[in-house]
Structure 1
Amino acid sequence: MDNSTLRLKCKTLMAQNGYFERGAKKRLAKELNINRNSLCMALSGYRKGKASLNVLSKIVERFEDAQRA
């Protein structure tokens, strides 16, 4: 999956699960055990490397696992 498609999927999943209020990215970064700045850069599209794809993949996995449970 390319970066822009994955970013859109992440933002959609975040919105569906109530992660767009103030402090949501900080909370999500803590839950995923990743740097908050890396999370924000990956979601904004500022960084498009392999590390950002890994961050976005973690977000998708987290929310898809929550939906299955």
Structure 2
Amino acid sequence: HGKDLSFENTGTVVLKDIVNQGAGTLTFNGDYIVKPDADQTWVGGGIIVNGDHTVNWQVNGVKGDSMHK
């Protein structure tokens, strides 16, 4: 819990499990698609998208998590 992760280049991230990253953030330094394998969710400190990159976020939120309103 609480570790920050950075992604470089471009790609697709597929969540195979429910992720509770605590206060940790996801930083994207490239264009990415983030999606669940089925109905997995992600909770964390937020996402950071640097530069002119885009992240296509397809992960459903968790009720009460401020990132997903």
Q: Which TM-score tier does this pair reach, normalised by the shorter chain?
A: under 0.3
TM, length-normalised to structure 2: 0.25
For the pair shown, the structure with the greater C-alpha radius of gyration is 2
More strand per residue: 2
Quick one: higher RCO (CA 8 Å, sep 6+), 1 or 2?
1
Give the structure with the higher percent helix. Answer: 1
Q: Give the TM-score of the pair, scaled to structure 1.
A: 0.25
